[in-house]
Amino acid sequence: QVQLVASGGGLVQTGGSLRLSCAASGRTLSSYSMAWFRQAPGKEREFVAGISWSGANTYYTDSVKGRFTISRDNAKNTVYLQMNNLKPEDTALYYCGATYFGSPRPGSKYDYWGQGTQVTVSS
């Protein structure tokens, strides 16, 4: 069993930055590919970024490319999402998912989910 705890959200102005963290306990994350998703009120859940279990491959939705960076530190059992140049449309509940040796893409099956951290970008 893997427990995921997302943190780092908050209120920021347009153009600001935040770094989200997804810390795991229970098992090492080194066997799991990880992804960040987000869901805004009234909208469907959206894939944001993913990173393979080795860290060799990363994936981003088009709207965040060049602004967001996903990374991982397996020694700390933590995955990060650095978000720069934030826009009001980035406002959402962000949460992380883990897929055992899977591909960290939108349609993959995720075995574990974190509880989410709120990101609010004011205009």
Residue 46's pLDDT band (cuts 50, 70, 90): very high
Span 55-81, pLDDT tens digits: 999 999 999 999 999 999 999 999 999
How would you write the chain as a 3-class SS string?
A: CCEEEEECCEEEECCCCEEEEEEEECCCHHHEEEEEEEECCCCCCEEEEEECCCCCCEEECHHHCCCEEEEEECCCCEEEEEECCCCHHHCEEEEEEEEECCCCCCCCCCCEECCCEEEEEEC
What pLDDT was estimated at residue 119? 98
